[in-house]
A and B are shown apart, each in its own frame.
Chain A
Amino acid sequence: MCSLLRLRAGARVAAAALNRGPGPGRRARTPLKVGDRALPGHVLLSQSLGTSAALRKDFMKEVESQLSSIKQTALDALPGSSWTPLQVNPNLPPERADIVIVGGGVVGWSVAYWLKQKERVREEVKVVVVERDPTYSRASTVLSAGGIRQQFSLSENILLSLHSAHFMRNINDHLGVLHEEPVDLHFNHSGYLFLASEEGAHIMEENYRTQRYAGAKVSLLSPTQLKEKFPWINTDGVVLASYGLENEGWFDPWTLLSAFRRKAISMGVIPCSGEVTGCQYQTNTVSTRDGDQVTLRRIRSVKVQMPNSLEYQPIECSVVVNAAGAFSAKLAQILGIGNGPEDSMAGLPVPVEPRKRYIYVMHCPDGPGLDTPFLIDYSGVYFRREGLGGNYIAGLSPQTDEEPDTRDLEVDHQFFEEQVWPSLAHRVPAFESLKVTSAWAGFYDYNTFDQNGLIGMHPLVNNMYFATGFSGHGLQHSPAVGRGVAELIMEGGYKTIDLSALDFRRILHQEPMLERNII
């Protein structure tokens, strides 16, 4: 019965998506005209130049607006004030919630959406998402370059990206809200291009095999093939290249975040602006098989502080999800994870810290053309096309000993001059003359242990799930990670992708799962 309801709900969304006005690949209300191209499976391909109003007249919305205006006139006519005996701050989060997601970035909202997607009855679980900065000024999501690739060496990462790409290609089936604009991620399917030198070629070949086995559509190119395909590349020093043919490219992270947020809120998730500054937990001391005493904690309530105010609200909750990104370790510290003797389980902190990365926007009118992929050189430098006006964005991960200061988000332009530009100009001769128009910096939620995501429960805190530490690929994995965490919470185990290799056990056993990428 419940799957029937879900099917009907899915069909409703799909029907709404189909019945919307002209959009890419949607059935148009106007009859077919000569010259309209049709894609197999879709009726019409016509572009809509985006509007900001709802695309369809909604009867219920009009009725509601009329009723509220009538109510307002009636209230104005009556004497009296709007005082109530219970003076409550309407911005406060609820006193009780089933699941509290700390962190309103793309991973947090993805988890919220999937939790609501997986519930069988409306309002089965009460989900609250707590985000301390509604302007997202320091959040990794919106400052990201927005790329998505399947060219990893770990099959979990490949599968996560693949599933996320499929999700984003059909995003309106998932995140479309009735009577609202469809989601347009500006997904440029231009692919990633990895270049390998002599030393890294064999790693690239092994990765290629793993990627093909997992289902990614990647192809290897020799230097001559590379020069044929992309004549603007200088193939000096390049021995092998790996080019993603499908499901790779870049998209707009802000749109993805807003889409997740809008859909989750429409399904009943409660957003809250505030910072988690404390929590109440109950402890239980148990002894392991070796006789060591371990303190297990169970979070009873999470204290949320309102922005710019002394007001706070403790939210009694059953499950907490830590999706705080670069600042996850701070949240974990509130719980006392990491305070303990060095060798024990209790002494292991959550190994996630913010690392600053710069992105520079350059303008080069003679640069590579529209089919430029997201190019990653073996020196570590990367660039991609941005928009249609000859702009590109570029960056480079600094050496481990030269990590920039993470106290602020100031950009170091010297870094571009000294480290990025030379490699860029060497690889793409057209970039010898370019102009840096703008730059910004953002944080990676860098997993200092092995630079791969941490998903799962902490062994010492019985009801806190982590979904953090993705070290630069959180955005591209976010739909699939959200689904994984929701499956963990609601169904007790992974159902679509098995992510159990990414949980805390590898940190306990000190067995890092490193990416064998050539960067």
Chain B
Amino acid sequence: MLKILIPTMMLIPTTWLAPSKHIWPSALAHSLIIAIFSLLWLSSPGETGWWLLSNLMALDPLSTPLLVLTCWLLPLMILASQNHTSAEPVNRQRMYLMLLTSLQIFLIIAFSATEVLLFYVMFEATLIPTLILITRWGSQGERLNAGTYFLFYTLAASLPLLVALLILQKTTGSLSLLPLPYAAAFPLISVADKLWWAGCLLAFLVKMPLYGMHLWLPKAHVEAPIAGSMILAAVLLKLGGYGMMRMMVVLEPLTKELSYPFIILALWGVIMTGSVCLRQTDLKSLIAYSSVGHMGLVAGGILIQTPWGFTGALILMIAHGLTSSALLCLANTNYERTHTRTMMLARGMQMLLPLMTSWWFIATLANLALPPLPNLMGELMIITSLFNWSWMTIVLTGGGTLITAGYSLYMFLMTQRGPVPQHILALNPSHTREHLLLALHLLPLLLLILNPTLVWGWTA
């Protein structure tokens, strides 16, 4: 565990002490080495639930895939940010890298925490670097609004979580995740217990985000710089999912009834956000709303509390993290060239940058859950487990899948096909860096087809 954490912490002195022309190569190389070492975590011992166990941190089949995703994403974020920060003074670039690294450290500790309160503190701590990234490096005046929405939605929902955790600490005596599943079931009957149940889950539902509380996500995504969007879409949303999966064990037996409205809200959100995507004009906003839809499915899968549901949720989280991040990187390559996020003004890109079209195609197909990609595996398992709970959900999930396919293809056809406007005829050709970035996103996704057992959690 420390094998990865200490080098990540050391990345901060690296960025501050490296000479200015070596910052980006050295940060990239350093984070890439950390990422490759983190892949070793995937070779699990298998029998025991936890490995690499220590007082505070441990790995288990739920947190390992998310941790590997987090470590994998840091070099990708560094690759993606190189261009738009190149015009800034050196110290600001160092600051940027330090923010990304500190975010990484908080996320690693959060996912590997064995103590729920440590997880909570790290969960809150990730808000600060993200807020600084959005409000300082965002491109428009609306970024202040976006930062406010982002901070206060999550903060307001997570304060009840703190209270709920303290209550849990009082009743069980310990908040360690290791004995928590084996603790005696609590008699949860009063209204206060129901409020406690809601308090436990609300923070994670807002983070996921659940459809009714999702307003912060499109704003934050659109205003954030590319690295901020990537980490937001790929990992920070999964913090919500991971937290929910951890907390579910103590919330029995209330979940059977109380989760009803949230499952329905999540599924309705899939349809609604999909419909919104069909008439979106802003590319990044489209991808943000599609994230809300996918995470709605994840929320449904977790709240249903079956092995298939959990497995599907975990696979979908990993696959969506890679896909969404890839789509955001593609949108960024478009934005850096044409300087607009409006899809109408940058059409027919296939004629201009045909190699990018192949990446767009793979990422779009992943987004619409094409078999045999893990996106489909996750979605299918969640849909099946929901169908098992109630046959009527198939209407919502089926319609949602249809609309998802619709808007993914709409996005592809709008950006890649169509008449080429004259003002984008002369564009910078694709850089190797951009191809590398997208390859590093989509190659793991394709490799996961071959061995999905790595990411499917406890049902191994």
Contact = CB atoms under 8 A, between A and B. Distances in A.
Interface of A: 94-96, 98-99, 119-121, 123-126, 284, 286, 296, 298, 300, 316-319, 456-457, 462-463, 465, 488-493
A96 B342 contact: no
Given A123-B281, A489-B423, A493-B419, 8 more contacts: A286-B426, A296-B426, A316-B339, A318-B346, A319-B423, A465-B422, A492-B347, A492-B422
Contacts of A96: 139-140
B344 interface: yes
Contacts of B179: none
B344 A298 contact: no
A317 B423 CA distance: 12
A57 to B, nearest CB: 33
Contacts of B424: 462-463
10 contacts: A96-B139, A318-B340, A319-B340, A319-B345, A456-B422, A462-B426, A488-B421, A488-B422, A491-B421, A492-B422
Contact of A124 (B342, B422, B426): B342
B344 A119 contact: yes
A98 B340 contact: yes
Contact of B342 (A98, A296, A493): A98
B423 A318 contact: yes
B423 A95 contact: no
How big is chain B's contact interface, by range?
A: 20 to 34
B428 A125 contact: no
Contacts of A318: 338-340, 342, 345-346, 423
B183 interface: no
A489 B345 contact: yes
Contacts of B338: 318
A310 to B, nearest CB: 21
B141 A462 contact: no
A286 to B, nearest CB: 8
Nearest to A488: B422
Q: Which 6 A-B pairs have the closest CB atoms?
A: A492-B419, A318-B340, A463-B423, A124-B281, A492-B421, A462-B426
A490 B342 CA distance: 11
Contacts of B428: 284
A121 B281 contact: yes
Nearest to A491: B419
B253 to A, nearest CB: 46
B322 to A, nearest CB: 29
Q: Which residue, of A123, A284, A462, A493, has the highest number of chain B Cβ atoms within 10 A? A: A462
B339 A317 contact: yes
A95 to B, nearest CB: 5
B178 interface: no
Contacts of A489: 345, 421, 423
B28 to A, nearest CB: 24
Interface string B370-404: 00000000000000000000000000000000000
A489 B280 CA distance: 19
B188 interface: no
A96 to B, nearest CB: 5
B425 interface: yes
B344 A125 contact: yes
Contacts of A462: 423-426
A484 to B, nearest CB: 12
A394 B200 CA distance: 83
Nearest to A463: B423
Contacts of B140: 95-96
Contacts of B241: none
B409 to A, nearest CB: 15
A102 to B, nearest CB: 15
Contacts of B342: 98, 124-126, 318
A15 B455 CA distance: 59
B420 interface: yes
Nearest to B423: A463
Contact of A120 (B139, B344, B420): B344
A488 B426 CA distance: 15
B348 interface: yes
Nearest to A2: B279
A456 B425 CA distance: 13
A119 B342 CA distance: 11
A41 to B, nearest CB: 36
B348 A492 contact: yes
Nearest to A95: B141
Contacts of A123: 281
A267 to B, nearest CB: 14
Nearest to A316: B339
A188 B281 CA distance: 42
A302 to B, nearest CB: 12
Nearest to B343: A124
Contacts of B280: 121
A317 B422 CA distance: 15
Contacts of A126: 342
A150 B403 CA distance: 50
A90 B65 CA distance: 49
Interface in B109-151: 139-141
Contacts of B421: 488-492
Nearest to B335: A318
Contacts of B422: 456-457, 465, 488, 492
Contacts of B419: 491-493
Contacts of A488: 421-422
A284 B423 contact: no
B453 to A, nearest CB: 43
B339 A300 contact: yes
Given A462-B423, A465-B423, A125 B345 contact: yes
Find the residue from B347, B418, B424, B428 having the highest chain A CB count within 10 A. Answer: B424
Nearest to B139: A96
Nearest to A464: B423
Nearest to A321: B423
Contact of A490 (B139, B141, B344, B426): B344
B340 to A, nearest CB: 4
B341 to A, nearest CB: 9
A114 to B, nearest CB: 14
Contacts of A298: 426
B134 to A, nearest CB: 16
Interface in B275-330: 279-281
A96 B424 CA distance: 18
A298 B428 CA distance: 11
Interface string B418-446: 11111111101000000000000000000
Contacts of A124: 281, 342, 344
Nearest to A490: B344
A286 B426 CA distance: 10
A318 B334 CA distance: 12
Nearest to B425: A462
Contacts of B344: 119-120, 124-125, 490
A96 B422 CA distance: 21
B370 to A, nearest CB: 25
A77 B428 CA distance: 59
B345 A457 contact: no
B422 to A, nearest CB: 5
A284 B426 CA distance: 9
A462 B424 CA distance: 7
Nearest to A503: B422
Contacts of A493: 419
A101 to B, nearest CB: 13
A462 B340 CA distance: 14
Contacts of A125: 281, 342, 344-345
A374 B303 CA distance: 79
B279 to A, nearest CB: 5
A457 B424 CA distance: 11
A121 B279 contact: yes
Given A284-B428, A296-B426, A298-B426, A492 B420 contact: yes
A456 B281 CA distance: 25
B338 to A, nearest CB: 6
A449 to B, nearest CB: 21
B220 to A, nearest CB: 17
